[in-house]
Amino acid sequence: MEKVTGQLTNKETVVELWGEEFERLSENPRVVFLENEIRVRLKAEVKLASGETTKVLTLREPTVGDLKATDAVKGDVTKSAALLASCADLPDAVVSKMPGSDFVLVNKVIGAFLSDGPETGES
């Protein structure tokens, strides 16, 4: 896949800017790290509310408001879909049509934002 202008390709730089939680994701060629955003290249195009289609989602870190909003829905998958829709500015209907493999990858990125890092065994 083609390199994006400003893409961080050095794993140490990704970890320095984004945190250790993103180290494994930096090895995935479909996850593109920039200095101030993360993009995920999808296998299938999604149609945006504007009518445009894209194969690249730009994700932002979830806010507390995003997390609180998931309390309004039931079911783990439904909560994940709602959070993804919010963090990628996508309509829920678009997320519902997303292939499972794309959904899982995007949720791994969102999960890394919410991780408090690897456990070291120390207390």
- Cα gap 37→8, rounded to integer Å: 11
Q: What is the pLDDT of residues 74-122, one digit of tens each?
A: 999 999 999 999 999 899 999 999 999 999 999 999 999 998 755 555 5
User: 105: which residues sit within 8 A by CB, 6+ positions away?
Assistant: 28, 30, 31, 40
Task: Tell me which H or E stretch contains 113.
Answer: helix 100-114
What's the structural domain count of the chain? 1
Would 54 be classed as within a structural domain? yes
pTM summary value:
0.84
Would 80 be classed as within a structural domain? yes
Q: What one-letter code names the amino acid at 90?
A: L
90 conformational bin, left if phi > 0, alpha if psi -120 to 50, beta if neither: beta
Picking from 22, 40, 18, the residue whose alpha carbon sits closest to that of residue 31 is 40
Would 90 be classed as within a structural domain? yes
Would 1 be classed as within a structural domain? no
